[in-house]
Structure 1
Amino acid sequence: MSAGLVTCVALLGALAGAGAPAAARPLVARSPAEGPLRARRGPQPGLDLPAAAGNAPVPPSAARSPRFALRSARSLRSARSLRSARSLRSAARSVGFPAVMAGLGALVFGGLAAALGIDPALPAFLLVAACGLVLAVVDLACLRLPDPLVAAATFGGGLGLAGAALAAGTPGRLLGALAGAALSLAAYVLLALLPRARLGFGDVKLAAALGLPLGWSGWPTLWLGLLLPHLLNGVVVLALLVTRRVRRDTALPFGPAILAGAWLAVLLS
């Protein structure tokens, strides 16, 4: 490991992190819940119901129907998700956020350089990390992981690892990377299909993309990369619940935990 290499890569990461909020801005779409709720001026009395096209009063017979209760519950969940997304967006727009992201980018890139050293696969890992910084900002802002950016991380990282395998004469490691992506995809699909699962298929696709570099690093790294996101997310959610910053049914992003878990797995391998 060269101190000069780590320093140069960390500076590159600081630039990538500082530019992540600007790169994420075009990708930050409105929360799906924001459309029907945003047009209303101030809170409505009682439940904030989706059935109020023009805010017409609801007949008592309709208010007792199961369909009305289901729509009411969905509306409440949407409103809570909207409040969470708005608070995260306001944090992302603060003056110090690019500086925080610059420090985070320097830490992420520098850590990868320290862990991998002069490895032909380092550029591929850095490319995936750069995409991951932008994805984390987008997921924090609007609870979405845009497919184009996940695809860029997948194909860019895959091509970089293929080039590294050819340069080092180790095609077997590329097979390991592909196996890691397939295993990550299968594991997260199963988790997403479990009853009351909070995983979206954006999380599933991101896990498959990160399975490439994790599989390249070896099976212990892959297993650690699959386990750590859930441990990290559990700690964060517990802390937020204890401090009453979120409710049990508040929608929270899982993409940052997947990215952080993969990064830590590479560093600890």
Structure 2
Amino acid sequence: MSALLVTGIALLGAAVGWAAVPVGRSVVTGPAGGAPCRYTFALVGVVVFGGLAAARPADPALPALLLVAAAGLVLVVTDVTALRLPDPLVGLVALGGGLGPAAATAATGEPRRLAVAAAGAALSFTGYALLALLPRARLGFGDVKLAAALGLPLGWLGWPALRLGLLLPHVLAGVAVLVLLAAGRVRRDTPVPFGPALLGGAWLAAVLT
């Protein structure tokens, strides 16, 4: 993929990130608070879309991954501001994560990868559902559904991506909570959204493997 096309996809990500934050809104109700969000999310969109395009230029599932990323940017905003992961947006992640790999499998003739995608969704759902049922668990079933939806594209990318995608959200969330505690932004009993960590971990897994 040419540098010009990667740049174009990154600029598309900027537009998606900008549009993800409603006009006049700032992410001031979440624990991070106070960020100039439309500009911040435009920059995040550049990094997310540009990173996927640069890391997977020849991947036939790239358009689906970009669709997942677009829905993910909106989900980050809603989870940080309202601690919600709306089902329609999670469904869009599942749609992109399912139909994209299915179309890519038809193009590449590798049905085994589609089976791994289904296994990825099942493993993600089972693992996070068990965690959500633990006493004092802070995971909601919106997080469980999102993890299952992300398991589809991560599974299609392969077992290394799936393993990273399952592990990294907990690392990212743990680091974020420690930083917020140290900064006095949250207390130990403050609800902290887990959706951004899920999405960030999935993105890192996709670009690093």
Question: What TM-score does the superposition give when structure 1 sets the normalisation length?
Answer: 0.73
1:186 aligns with 2:108: no
Amino acid at match of 2:57: G
Q: Give the drift of 1:267.
A: 1.4
**Match for residue 65 of structure 2?**
125
Q: 137, 153, 171: which is aligned to 1:213? A: 153
Q: 86, 92, 100: which is aligned to 1:146? A: 86
Distance in 2, Cα, partners of 1:167 & 1:153: 21
Query: What pairs with 1:232-243 in structure 2 (closer than 5 Å)?
Result: 232-243=172-183
Amino acid at match of 1:22: P
Between 1:6-15 and 1:130-139, the stretch displaced more is 6-15
Distance in 2, Cα, partners of 1:236 & 1:90: 9
1:251 aligns with 2:179: no
Q: Give the drift of 1:156.
A: 2.8
In structure 1, runs of 5+ residues without a counterpart are 26-84
In structure 2, runs of 5+ residues without a counterpart are none
**Match for residue 228 of structure 1?**
168
The CA deviation string for residues 33-80 of structure 1, in whole angstroms up to 9 with x for no partner, is: xxxxxxxxxxxxxxxxxxxxxxxxxxxxxxxxxxxxxxxxxxxxxxxx
1:2 aligns with 2:2: yes
* Larger-gyration structure (1/2): 1
Amino acid at match of 1:228: L
Distance in 2, Cα, partners of 1:153 & 1:243: 33
Query: What pairs with 1:72-221 in structure 2 (closer than 5 Å)?
Result: 87-88=29-30, 91=33, 96-221=36-161
Give the share of equivalent positions with the same residue, in percent: 64
Amino acid at match of 2:13: G
Distance in 2, Cα, partners of 1:194 & 1:204: 13
- Aligned partner of residue 30 in structure 2, secondary structure: helix
Is the contact made by 2:31 and 2:180 (CA closer than 8 Å) also made in structure 1?
Answer: no
Distance in 1, Cα, partners of 2:171 & 2:194: 11
The CA deviation string for residues 206-252 of structure 1, in whole angstroms up to 9 with x for no partner, is: 00011011101111110111000001110110111122211100011
- Aligned partner of residue 78 in structure 2, secondary structure: helix
Question: What TM-score does the superposition give when structure 2 sets the normalisation length?
Answer: 0.93
**Match for residue 29 of structure 1?**
none
Is the contact made by 1:91 and 1:97 (CA closer than 8 Å) also made in structure 2?
Answer: no
Amino acid at match of 2:152: L
The CA deviation string for residues 189-212 of structure 1, in whole angstroms up to 9 with x for no partner, is: 011011111000000000001101
Distance in 1, Cα, partners of 2:123 & 2:2: 33
**Match for residue 16 of structure 1?**
16
**Match for residue 206 of structure 2?**
266
Distance in 2, Cα, partners of 1:222 & 1:237: 24
Distance in 1, Cα, partners of 2:160 & 2:148: 16
